[in-house]
């Protein structure tokens, strides 16, 4: 679960943040890679329903997502756009972060010098080991990529479309912020700006054809009365936006604060938006117990609970999180240190399927979005409220304590058979709160012929 507070302007002096809007063409060529060749026209034609993910960007060249990416094509059938990158102000919502801090004149000299030193170190690494450009290109700020959870969007995206080549994916990058405010603004203005930009991205996704929109992020609201009022203003604008599109189902994450959300004194958004086409999702463990971190909405909204703990899904194929990357922060590391990093990255990621386990309501929401898309493939004329009812009809009655719930079986992704065998590679690569890591994966391990099912509870 990602907190959308990252979109709010920072306070005080801003140092070291890479503003993606000012990236040079050379930098953009690295962080917005050319789409891997494929049958783009034929692929688009196979997509019977489109889903959209508003998150931290998506690796549209991930081998396990290639068939699902729904590009806008020019007259020659060449990709011209894939959704929108609000952070980079372009149409390529890749998850990578351009290192603009080395030439951004708005930053202090110390920040620019440190960024240039890191750029030179990465350049040395890539000169000596050219294959490392895939993971540690000097034009990318690897430190920010690893610390700001840019893997989140690709992980969510994989759960929305797995094993369904007839589901097309659109991507809209709304985090991490990576922007430098031109001037300081009061919090009320920041929330209004957040509401306007989020509404604009939603409108763009709907215009592009999305029938299911997943938003695995939250803006917590149980702080001060002033903040509550500001966030109600945010919710009002977002509610107005979603209600304009009754055919579109908005699947949102409940949040990871271990909180009972009563819709009044305790409320988070967008989960707290009262609309018939908004479905809020909490998280369970695979043994069907409630995940300890999951919020529990009690406000009478449509709420479901599904697997959200220790969920295996896709992560960007250009990010290799090994502890040896710390050497890139050094101004003048030795050749041996650079070699050690290259060897560690090759061992971990050279033959990886780029799958990791993460936990959070962020993971639960796209699983439900996946079910919604399957329903729309079969019944494309349904409006969102009817899709919600169809989800309930798939379920059987059960309980969590005294809370009435419904139990739903969901087919696991075929990629569960790609995990390494126990003990092969259990290095943790923490990627989100409440996350257990899974490392580089064994190419020799075959797909599981019968991956089984995930159990999911749905409240009504």
Active-site residue (options: 47, 152, 245, 434) = 152
**Catalytic residue flag (residue 89):** no
CA distance 18 to 141: 8
Q: Could you report the per-residue pLDDT of 134-155, keeping only the tens digit for each? A: 999 999 999 999 988 899 999 9
pLDDT band at residue 185 using 50, 70 and 90 as cut-offs: low
Placement of tokens 């159990």 in the chain = 455
User: For the chain, what percent of residues have pLDDT higher than 90?
Assistant: 61
Mean pLDDT over 270-287 rounds to 90
The sign of the CA dihedral 57, 61, 64, 66 is: positive
> For the chain, what is the mean pLDDT?
85
Does the pLDDT of residue 222 top 80, yes or no? no
Cβ atoms of 293 and 83 within 8 Å: the answer is no
Instruction: Give yes or no for residue 188 having a pLDDT over 80.
Output: no
pTM metric for this prediction: 0.90
Pick the catalytic residue: 101, 115, 139, 362? 362
CA 137 – CA 129 distance, rounded (Å): 11
Note the pLDDT tens digit of each residue in 69-122.
Answer: 999 999 999 999 999 999 999 999 999 999 999 999 999 999 999 999 999 999
Please state which of the ranges 120-124, 177-181, 223-227, 382-386 shows the lowest mean pLDDT: 223-227
Reference 20, options 157, 204, 228, 175; nearest CA is 175
CB 418 within 8 A of CB 387: no
Q: Could you tell me the two tokens for 204?
A: 């763009």
- Structure confidence at residue 454 as a pLDDT band (50, 70, 90): low
Reported confidence tier of residue 221, pLDDT bands at 50, 70, 90: low
**What domains are defined for the chain?**
2-99+139-317+352-459 (3.40.50.200)
pLDDT of residue 5: 42
pLDDT higher at 453 or 81: 81
Residue 71 tokens read as: 């590009």
- The SS3 assignment for 387 reads helix
39: pLDDT strictly greater than 80: yes
Contacts of 277 (CB under 8 A, 6+ apart): 242, 243, 245, 246, 248, 249, 250, 383, 384, 385, 388
- The neighbouring-strand residues paired with 55 are 173
Over 80: is that where the pLDDT of 459 sits?
no
Residue 152 falls in the annotated catalytic set: yes
For residue 279, list its beta bridge partners. Answer: 251
Question: CA 306, CA 199: separation in Å to the nearest integer?
Answer: 27
Which member of 19, 32, 55, 104 is catalytic?
A: 55
Distance (Å, whole) CA 238 – CA 192: 11
How far apart are the C-alpha atoms of 20 and 86, rounded to whole Å?
A: 9
Instruction: Output the pLDDT for position 7.
Output: 39
Using CA atoms, how far apart are residues 9 and 14, in angstroms rounded to an integer?
10
Q: What is the pLDDT of residue 435?
A: 40
């Amino acid at each position: 679960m990602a907190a959308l507070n990252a979109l709010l302007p920072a306070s005080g002096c801003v140092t070291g943040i890479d503003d993606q809007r000012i990236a040079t063409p050379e930098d953009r060529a690295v962080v917005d890679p050319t789409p891997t060749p494929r049958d783009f026209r034929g692929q688009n034609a196979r997509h019977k329903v489109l889903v959209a993910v508003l998150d931290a960007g998506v690796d549209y060249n991930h081998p396990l997502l290639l068939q699902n990416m729904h590009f806008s094509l020019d007259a020659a059938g060449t990709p011209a756009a894939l959704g929108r990158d609000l952070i980079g102000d372009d149409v390529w919502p890749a998850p990578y972060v351009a290192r603009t801090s080395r030439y951004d004149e708005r930053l202090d000299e110390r920040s620019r010098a440190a960024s240039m030193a890191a750029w030179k170190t990465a350049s040395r690494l890539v000169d000596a080991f050219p294959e490392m450009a895939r993971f540690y290109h000097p034009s990318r700020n690897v430190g920010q990529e690893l610390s700001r959870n840019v893997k989140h969007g690709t992980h969510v995206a994989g759960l929305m479309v797995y094993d369904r080549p007839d589901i097309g994916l659109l991507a809209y990058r709304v985090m991490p912020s990576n922007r430098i405010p031109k001037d300081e603004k009061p919090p009320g203005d920041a929330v209004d700006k957040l509401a306007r930009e989020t509404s604009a991205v939603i409108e763009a996704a709907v215009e592009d054809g999305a029938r299911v929109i997943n938003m695995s992020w939250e803006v917590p609201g149980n702080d001060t009365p002033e903040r509550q009022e500001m966030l109600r203003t945010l919710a009002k604008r977002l509610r107005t936006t979603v209600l304009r599109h009754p055919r579109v189902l908005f699947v949102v994450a409940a949040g990871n604060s271990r909180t009972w959300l009563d819709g009044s004194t305790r409320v988070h958004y967008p989960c707290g938006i009262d609309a018939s086409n908004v479905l809020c999702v909490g998280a369970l463990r695979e043994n069907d117990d409630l995940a300890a971190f999951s919020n529990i909405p009690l406000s009478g909204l449509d709420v479901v609970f599904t697997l959200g703990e220790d969920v295996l899904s896709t992560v960007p194929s250009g990010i290799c999180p090994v502890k040896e990357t710390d050497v890139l922060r050094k101004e003048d590391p030795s050749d041996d240190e650079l070699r050690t990093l290259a060897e560690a990255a090759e061992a971990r990621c050279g033959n990886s399927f780029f799958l990791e386990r993460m936990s959070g309501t962020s993971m639960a929401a796209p699983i439900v979005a996946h079910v919604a898309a399957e329903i729309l493939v079969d019944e494309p004329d349904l409006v969102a409220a009817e899709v919600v009812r169809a989800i309930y009809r798939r379920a059987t009655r059960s309980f969590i304590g005294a809370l009435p719930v419904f139990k739903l079986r969901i087919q696991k992704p075929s990629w569960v058979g790609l995990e390494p065998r126990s003990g092969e590679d259990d290095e943790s690569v923490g990627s989100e709160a409440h996350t257990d890591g899974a490392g580089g994966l064994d190419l020799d391990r075959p797909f599981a012929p019968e991956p089984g099912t995930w159990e999911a509870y749905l409240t009504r």
